[in-house]
């Protein structure tokens, strides 16, 4: 858990309380109850993060969904945890989306921190190979007979290739420039 993330969570709480206090029709008791509930969630989150960090307390962990493995966060004006795509760093560009299940918070050191830029480039090349394989397998006898034009296996290949392309694009976006090496 990063200090910046903790600061962002507390800033969100502060902004929510300030907004509640500006509401002339809100009772102070109701505001106190809402703040208590929010602090209970934040406290439980911090405890869970500390327990998961265990011996690696010097590592900075980030919240992810234990159900699907995607990044999650707490956002200003929204209650609870939400799935998002994009940069998980405070102030980064994010896009919320509905994952089809509630976010279940867990904590990890982001896996990419252990990879060098050269290793990330190798992953990008592997993704390019996987995309070429998925899209270059050709059609089978079952393709064309369905309404979508592709059998379920080849339709799934297209979906996987799209997922690989999105990941490859995201890796390219965050990868630093390296002189003297071709991609």
H-only helix segments in the chain: 3-22, 28-53, 117-135, 152-174
What's the average model confidence in pLDDT over 33-55? Answer: 71
Residue 40 pLDDT: 75
Could you state, in order of their start, the residue ranges of all structural domains in the chain?
3-110, 115-174
CA distances from 54 to 1, 106, 114 (A): 12, 13, 18
Residue 167 has pLDDT above 70, yes or no: yes
pLDDT digits (tens, 9 = 90+) for 136-160: 877 777 776 655 677 777 778 888 8
Does the pLDDT at position 1 exceed 60? no
Confidence of residue 183 (pLDDT cuts 50, 70, 90): very low
pLDDT of residue 59: 61
What is the residue-averaged pLDDT of the chain? 77
Closest by alpha carbon to 38, among 11, 64, 62? Answer: 11
Separation in Å, CA 36 to CA 15, 17, 29, 41: 15, 11, 10, 9
Query: Tell me, what's the pLDDT at 80?
Result: 85
Q: What are the tens digits of pLDDT across the range 55-75?
A: 455 567 788 888 888 888 888
Length of the chain, please?
183
- Is the pLDDT assigned to residue 177 strictly greater than 80? no
């Amino acid at each position: 858990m990063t200090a910046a993330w903790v600061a962002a969570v507390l800033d969100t709480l502060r902004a929510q309380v300030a907004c509640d206090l500006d509401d002339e029709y809100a009772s102070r008791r109701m505001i106190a109850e809402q703040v208590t509930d929010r602090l209970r969630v934040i406290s439980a989150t911090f405890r869970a993060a500390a327990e998961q960090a265990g011996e690696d307390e010097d590592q900075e962990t980030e919240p992810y969904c234990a159900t699907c493995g995607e990044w999650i966060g707490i956002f200003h004006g929204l209650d609870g945890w939400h799935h998002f795509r994009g940069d998980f760093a405070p102030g980064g560009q994010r896009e919320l989306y509905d994952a089809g299940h509630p976010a279940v918070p867990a904590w990890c050191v982001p896996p990419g921190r252990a990879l060098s830029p050269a290793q990330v480039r190798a992953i990008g090349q592997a993704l390019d190979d996987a995309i070429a394989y998925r899209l270059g397998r050709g059609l089978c006898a079952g393709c064309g007979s369905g309404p979508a034009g592709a059998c379920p296996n080849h339709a799934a290949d297209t979906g996987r290739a799209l997922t690989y392309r999105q990941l490859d694009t995201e890796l390219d976006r965050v990868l630093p420039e390296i002189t003297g090496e071709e991609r």
